[in-house]
């Protein structure tokens, strides 16, 4: 995976971030979701690298990035802390302003990044999420059943950690294979990378902290924003056969949090970058190429 890319390990804002960099052109940061790594982007990165300098990184707590200790209020895994890592990494790579494409948890990090560092994020594309606070507020029976892990992972430590550690592989396959596409989106090499990374008890702990932060300190940060919205253009893409389509009005919810919103559903499930890489790449290239500020 990631032929012609070079790997890096760079100190962020409290965590060492692992990732890969390749291509040429305006800088494009790609962030993955749960329970994955930067390998999520291996199918779309080659096409994107023809137009952009692509940086695909492991979030703190995931993959080969470091796993800071847990703290009482979960601040070490707040989206603000995770976003701080990435802005620092991009600065150290020489990019003061850049584009961001992100999936799942990474898109929640990117949302906070674009709010807190608006001078650095030129455009943002998110895959298969609505804003965190609004999703919690609008929780329905169907959504809770589809996203059961949201409510399991936030339980007080170490209960979910111990349950998952009993069989990390089975948990990963159940969680990621329960969508409309099953396990078919995942290539053999990517699946091997995900399962190997998730076997680490520290990844399990850190990823639980990610979710605990989302249900606590991240919502406090959202509430503190008041009426402030994202100022950069936002593209929202989601899966037609997934939970976002079934239980939320994705564009309406994003318009509560961003000034310039466009987007549509794609004919797939949650893991769009691996299920529909050509479509995701085309949408990203079209959207990001509109920017004239980089």
How far the first Cα of the chain sits from its last, in Å, is 28
Could you give the C-alpha distances from 160 to 61, 202, 209, 284, in angstroms and in order? Answer: 16, 13, 10, 36
SS3 114: helix
**Reading across the β-sheet that carries 98-103, which strands appear in turn?**
6-11, 16-23, 53-57, 27-31, 98-103, 121-127, 234-239, 261-266
- The residue behind tokens 């150290």 is 92
> Rounded to whole angstroms, how far apart are CA atoms 27 and 15?
21
Residue 258: φ, ψ to 5°:
-145, 150
Q: Where are the beta strands (DSSP E) in 2-119?
A: 6-11, 16-23, 27-31, 53-57, 98-103
DSSP strand pairing (261-266 vs 234-239): parallel
Task: Count CA atoms closer than 13 A to 211's CA, side-chain side.
Answer: 23
Element (H, E) at 51: none
Q: What is the dihedral of CA 229, 232, 233, 239, to 10 degrees?
A: -70
Q: How far is CA 171 from the centre of its chain?
A: 20
Q: Which residues are catalytic?
A: 104, 270
């Amino acid at each position: 995976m990631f032929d012609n890319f070079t790997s890096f390990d760079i100190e962020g804002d409290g965590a060492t971030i692992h990732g890969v960099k390749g291509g040429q052109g305006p800088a494009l940061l790609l962030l993955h979701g749960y329970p994955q790594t930067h390998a999520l982007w291996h199918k779309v990165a080659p096409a994107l690298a023809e137009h952009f300098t692509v940086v695909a990184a492991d979030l703190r707590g995931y993959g080969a990035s470091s796993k800071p200790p847990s703290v009482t209020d979960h601040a070490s895994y707040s989206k603000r802390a995770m976003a701080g890592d990435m802005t620092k990494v991009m600065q150290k790579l020489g990019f003061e302003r850049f584009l961001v494409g992100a999936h799942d948890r990474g898109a929640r990090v990117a949302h906070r990044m674009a709010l807190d560092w608006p001078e650095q994020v030129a455009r943002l594309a998110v895959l298969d999420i609505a804003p965190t606070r609004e999703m919690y507020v609008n929780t329905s029976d169907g959504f809770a059943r589809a996203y059961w892990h949201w409510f399991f992972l936030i339980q007080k430590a170490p209960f979910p950690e111990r349950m998952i550690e009993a069989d990390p592989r089975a948990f990963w396959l159940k969680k990621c294979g329960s969508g409309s596409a099953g396990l078919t989106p995942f290539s053999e090499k990517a699946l091997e990378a995900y399962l190997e990374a998730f076997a680490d008890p520290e990844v399990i702990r850190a990823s639980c902290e990610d979710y605990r932060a989302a249900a606590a300190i991240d919502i406090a940060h959202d509430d503190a924003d008041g009426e402030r919205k994202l100022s950069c253009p936002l593209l929202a893409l989601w899966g037609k056969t997934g939970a976002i389509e079934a239980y939320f009005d994705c564009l309406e919810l994003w318009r509560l949090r961003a000034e310039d919103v466009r987007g549509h559903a794609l004919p797939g499930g949650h893991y769009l970058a691996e299920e529909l890489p050509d479509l995701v790449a085309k949408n990203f290239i079209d959207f990001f190429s509109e920017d004239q500020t980089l």
